[in-house]
A and B are shown apart, each in its own frame.
Chain A
Amino acid sequence: MNAAPILQLQAISKRFGTIQALDQVDFDLYEGEIHALVGENGAGKSTLMRILSGVYTEYEGEFLLDGKPVHLHSPHDALDLGIGMIHQELSVMPELSVAENLFLGRQLTTRWGTVDWKKMHNTAEQELERLGFSHLDVRQPLGNYSLGTQQVVEVLRTIISGARVIIMDEPTSALSPAEVERLIRLIDKLRESKRSIIYISHFLEEVMRVADRVTVLRDGQKVATLNAPETNVNNLISLILGREVNATLPPAISTSNGHTLMEVNHLTADVFKDISFTINQGEVLGIYGAIGAGHFDLARALFGMYRFDTGTITVDGHRFKPNHSARYAIRHGLAFATESRRKSLLMEEAIYRNVTLPHLNRIGSLTPTQSQELKVAAPAIHMVNVQPPDPLNPVGKLSGGNQQKVAIARWLTFPPKVLVMSEPTRGMDVGAKSEVLSLLRNFRNQGYGVLVVSSEPETILTVSDRVIVMSHGHIVAHMENKDLNKDVLMRLL
């Protein structure tokens, strides 16, 4: 690594309005190097990568490639210069064959301009064999293979299209442990063939295994760049959070008192396995996991919106029939607000109609009138303090925080026994966040059960009485929220 770096960023700064997303950040990458980038959500990782991949074209600072200054104008520019990005959400075509995916957008053609299938299949087979994936049939549709294999194909496509620098954004979050191993082997192969990789991940153990160097970002600033052998996970966590960490784990949960409202036993589907927990009366249970850990699909499964294979759900003594519907779940005391407000609310409809929609059958008559509905909805809308408070406004005109309040108000009219909320504070400012979280706490104080599912450690730690951590579809820890802090959650991922 004595040669000059192939990629250098010098004093990069980027503002969004009043927010300084990046402040004088330096970053460099050598040939054949795996350089990991770590930091909390909002530390500036994605902003930096978007500058590198040509998405953000306005910034301050120097961008050098092979020692020469460049300025990218589009993601296409980045690809032309050999910088490829693998997004968390794959951009492969499951219906097309493996070979077609490998050559997507740049099919090999014969001299007549038609697709040269023979050459494409041969080249694809050679490339796969060289990189240790000779077991793939290039003629099979890619959709027949697992998610991990699809991701491998996307990485290979980036390489075949000539990328020297590959940016991987949370590549392992949705993979099974075996698939993670395979990806790490591929990364080692890429290092041998002199490709460079920028590796973004929440999983610090993994970062320590694959990376040559690690750069830590915090609040838009670079905190440190370290050689991987000279650091460890605890050191990284304290750099990410900016304080010393307590290395001991809090004690495991003891038996809880109070009446059990919800009991989940051995719930298993494709993306989560053997999930068991209970929620007591007047208790908030938080389930924390990185994106792709399976916790959001678990929440959907509880509400009958995601098919599970085995396991049982019991609410207040009533055992749910297998693969119940959402209607069934509501009738038996379960409420659910998804992580996507856009999916759960009807944006063009009035606030009060969004609130009463799940309860129209309880309002009584077959022909609910506006005044009947308002009588039911108005107190709930008032309780959550929606601004502006006019219940006739369409939901789409409200801010994100107020939309979330509507999603909660919906379940205050005819209170459920257990309220399940996925990502209750996503995309909200500090004020709205604390309002929503205190609403959830009120709900708990009135003796209901609350399940909060989130990938934001702050949210989980602020609102939960107990915390479950999920990773790759499994529960990896179950603790009381006493002396818990972010470093514990991060270490457990």
Chain B
Amino acid sequence: MTTQTEKTPEIAASPSKPLISGVWMRRITALAPVWTLLALGIFFALTSQTFLRPVNLNNILSQISTLAIFATGMTFVLLTGEIDLSIAAVAALTGMISAYLFANLKVQEPIPLLVALGTGTLMGFLSGIASTRFRIPTFMSTLAMSLIAGGLTTYLSKGRTISQLPEVSVFLGSGRIGGSNGFRVLVIVAAVSLLVGYLVLKYTRFGRYVYMTGASKPAARLAGINTNVILTAVLTISGFFAGLAGVVSTGRLGSALPAAIPSFLIDTIGAVVLGGTSLNGGRGGMVQTLIGLLIYGTLRNGLDNIPSIDPLLKDVITGIVLFVALVINVLLAGRAPRDKTG
């Protein structure tokens, strides 16, 4: 009853004007991922005493750093409306290649690193060629590439973990600058990846072509953009960053594993999309990806910091929160388009 009496005069006073104007509503909804991040941060700050400690915040950064390298490449791919399902397997392969060259063939640094990065780039390029020249959907070409990369990893490693790693990998993955309590090199690598991605997307001609190809392939082609080249390029970029992430993650883990870590793929796509980059292409960017990564990291880390939560339920809760956040984002982004044929 009371709420009704409170509301009535307001509505009567301005019958045609909603409480929040359309412009403001759009600004608020455009920032939905930021609100999600704030809400999660406040929630964990209130429920856990350890969450806000600098050590823990630092932890979040290093936890999302590997993901951030993957996500830089994935953002390019999703912006064109395509997908790359091979990143986790490519990363496993490149990590294994650099370790194998160094440990078993005694190849000098930095050749193992360069070969690994080259392999990742090449695999992305091949997926791109398969998709554009032979019109295989990227969903399938990258899935096939994932099997190939996974198989090569197994073949090369014979199922064994290699823990003798090149020093570059160790430095990039778990080194620190300025003593044992210094800044993690991994975080810097991730930040540089995101920054380069940001600059390329925002300021270069190529970046514009990526957005336009994703927004409307016919329109891009009519403007003379070779969309096949753009699609091949974004998959190549994704392959390069997957390769880098692979080398870095071996350094972080201290060993090259004989199999891919499947959660890399899901977490990467989850984080990028959560940030607000559209799966249909054309919308989003590196800033959104950064926010998506922070949401993801906050969520994963925050759950660890609440002792009363069964650790075995962590994935379930992450999944549910991801689901809810995506639904909220979609709801805030507005209703379905009027024209259902488009």
Task: Tell me the A residues contacting B by CB distance below 8 Å.
Answer: 303, 305, 325-327, 329-331, 336, 338, 342-346, 348-349, 353, 357-358, 360-361, 366-369, 410
Contacts and interface: CB of A to CB of B under 8 A. Distances in A.
B135 interface: no
B80 to A, nearest CB: 14
7 contacts: A326-B222, A342-B342, A343-B216, A343-B219, A344-B218, A346-B216, A369-B203
A366 B205 contact: yes
A325 B222 CA distance: 10
A298 to B, nearest CB: 16
A342 B222 CA distance: 12
Given A343-B216, A346-B212, A348-B215, A366 B222 contact: no
A368 B206 CA distance: 10
A366 B220 CA distance: 18
Chain A's interface: helix, strand, loop or mixed, by majority? loop
Chain B's interface: helix, strand, loop or mixed, by majority? helix
A367 B205 contact: yes
A358 B204 contact: no
B223 interface: yes
B122 interface: no
B225 A327 contact: yes
Contact of A305 (B221, B225, B282): B221
Interface string B319-334: 0000000000000000
B106 interface: no
B22 interface: no
Nearest to A345: B219
A305 B224 CA distance: 10
Contacts of B216: 343, 346
B222 A349 contact: no
A361 B225 CA distance: 10
Contact of A326 (B204, B208, B224, B342): B224
Interface in B186-231: 203-206, 208-209, 212, 215-216, 218-226
A367 B203 contact: yes
A337 to B, nearest CB: 8
A345 B35 CA distance: 33
B205 A330 contact: no
A305 B209 CA distance: 18
A326 B216 CA distance: 15
Contact of A344 (B209, B222, B282): B222
A338 B221 CA distance: 12
Given A338-B222, A344-B218, A344-B222, 14 more contacts: A329-B224, A344-B223, A346-B212, A349-B212, A349-B215, A357-B220, A357-B225, A358-B223, A360-B205, A366-B204, A367-B203, A368-B205, A368-B208, A410-B223
A346 B226 contact: no
B222 A305 contact: yes
A346 B214 CA distance: 11
A367 B204 contact: yes
A336 B219 CA distance: 11
A180 B282 CA distance: 44
Between B206, B208, B220, the greatest number of chain A beta carbons within 10 A of the residue's beta carbon is seen for: B208
A71 B212 CA distance: 48
Given A325-B226, A327-B224, A338-B222, A346 B205 contact: no
B224 A330 contact: yes
Contacts of B222: 303, 305, 326, 336, 338, 343-344
Nearest to A358: B223
A331 B212 CA distance: 19
A210 to B, nearest CB: 32
A358 B224 contact: yes
A208 B273 CA distance: 60
A488 B209 CA distance: 46
A343 B208 contact: no
Contacts of A353: 208
Nearest to A342: B342
A395 B40 CA distance: 37
A232 to B, nearest CB: 41
A366 B212 CA distance: 16
A303 B209 CA distance: 20
Nearest to A353: B208
Contacts of B208: 353, 357, 360, 368
Nearest to A363: B205
Contact of A327 (B203, B204, B206, B226): B226
Contact of B223 (A331, A357, A369): A357
Nearest to A326: B224
Contact of A357 (B203, B204, B212, B282): B212
- State the 10 A-B residue pairs at the shortest beta-carbon distance, nearest first: A327-B224, A330-B224, A358-B223, A357-B223, A367-B203, A343-B218, A344-B222, A360-B205, A358-B224, A326-B224
A331 B226 CA distance: 13
Interface string B278-290: 0000100000000
Between B205, B209, B342, the greatest number of chain A beta carbons within 10 A of the residue's beta carbon is seen for: B205
Contacts of B205: 360-361, 366-368
A348 B342 CA distance: 15
B224 A346 contact: no
B204 A344 contact: no
A258 to B, nearest CB: 28
Contacts of A360: 205, 208-209
